[in-house]
Homo-oligomer: A and B are copies of this chain.
């Protein structure tokens, strides 16, 4: 018994140290993206490399393997707390995944991924898919090797999905994305054909940056973002980073000619941040102290950004305040504003897409990734496949690869299996909102009165506080009483857009 206690202590100490390194690296990355001087980059990269290397050694050490072996024994398991047991099983997953890749192979891959990312940047700027293709081929090839080493699941692509959404499978995604696609494609067509198109002209003025910032800070406060446990900065690409629950930082980007960019960017990152700020203190210092999956994380950013932030009750409460920040510039009714920020248009670029068509962008990427890893599609085939699918689902064909297959960074760095998280987020969010509408008394009245804290509390009690203690599927089941069901997102979008477009 004492033996297990000692091993448990050593195990927890190792995890705490891994977490400390992760936190230090988190600060270094945050710093790089929020204004670190250009000329210090090379030396900083070396420091990041040194720390990452030591963290990797620690998290793949034979000692850690021995602690796991011992703590997985039934006699030891019995003595562990629930948190410790979960920490052992999660650490086992990470450990096995890491030790299965030979360090030399991983090193080669890291170098390749970094080259491939800069090559992609160049290729996108020059619309040069041919220049990027050999790098993409190699990245795919390494990823195939990793699948072999990790071990294929029901399909080869499942092994990749599991990295970002534990337990998610191709079969499940086929089911939910199939349901989405069938209903969203006709809805998008009906919207395009509606004579009641919103006016968006008033949005494109010059909006003072300081006033945008003031409103961002105001809205974060309204959401219950804790500024004693975070800060708001600027970066080219907005992000949230949870260093620990007491330090969860967000960034946004102020575009002078687009008041909605910082507005919804801030609410989106604020949603991610609320998740990380409200994880229970018992998980601090463990690797369970973060969101349970990319999809669930995204559900929180999108719940706050879209379900709440693009709703009519929200703007009935806050539009006056927004107008005050930009005197004379938003001289429209709240209804016009609401319709303007909810315009739906088939477009080429995912990150600029609206709530509805966004999902079609994701489904296209999902289907292509499946073709690569389950059906052997080659890098050379991707531009044609891409363009065909855009024609089929969105009715438009990219005039160039730069606006098509080259638009996203993800594949260049080997992040295959990541894209589905975005739409999973939308589906989880709609399903949770459906439950919330039924369980939280007067939900939309709260939003309409700007009483957002009870909503944050509801999410904290059911989702945030658990960190990684529950898996994504356990979480959606426990919150909503059933498994993921894409119909909630379809219902939500239909209700919203049938009203806006008078269908």
Contacts and interface: CB of A to CB of B under 8 A. Distances in A.
Interface of A: 16-17, 20-21, 23-24, 27-28, 31, 35-44, 46-51, 54, 226-231, 243-249, 284-285
Q: Is the interface of A mostly helix, strand, loop or mixed?
A: helix
A47 B24 contact: yes
A247 B23 contact: no
Contact of A42 (B27, B226, B231, B246): B246
Contact of A51 (B20, B46, B243): B20
Given A24-B51, A37-B230, 11 more contacts: A16-B50, A21-B47, A23-B44, A24-B24, A24-B28, A24-B48, A38-B229, A40-B229, A40-B244, A44-B243, A51-B51
A17 B57 CA distance: 15
Given A37-B247, A38-B228, A27 B31 contact: yes
Contacts of A43: 23, 243-244, 246-247, 284-285
A418 to B, nearest CB: 27
Contacts of A51: 20-21, 24, 51
Contact of A47 (B20, B38, B245): B20
Contacts of A37: 227-231, 246-249
Nearest to A39: B246
Contacts of A20: 46-47, 49-51
A20 B53 CA distance: 12
A23 B36 CA distance: 13
Contacts of A231: 35-37
30 contacts: A17-B50, A21-B47, A21-B51, A23-B43, A23-B44, A24-B28, A24-B47, A24-B48, A24-B51, A27-B28, A37-B228, A37-B231, A37-B247, A37-B248, A37-B249, A38-B228, A38-B246, A39-B226, A39-B228, A39-B229, A39-B247, A40-B229, A40-B243, A40-B244, A41-B246, A42-B246, A43-B246, A44-B244, A46-B285, A54-B54
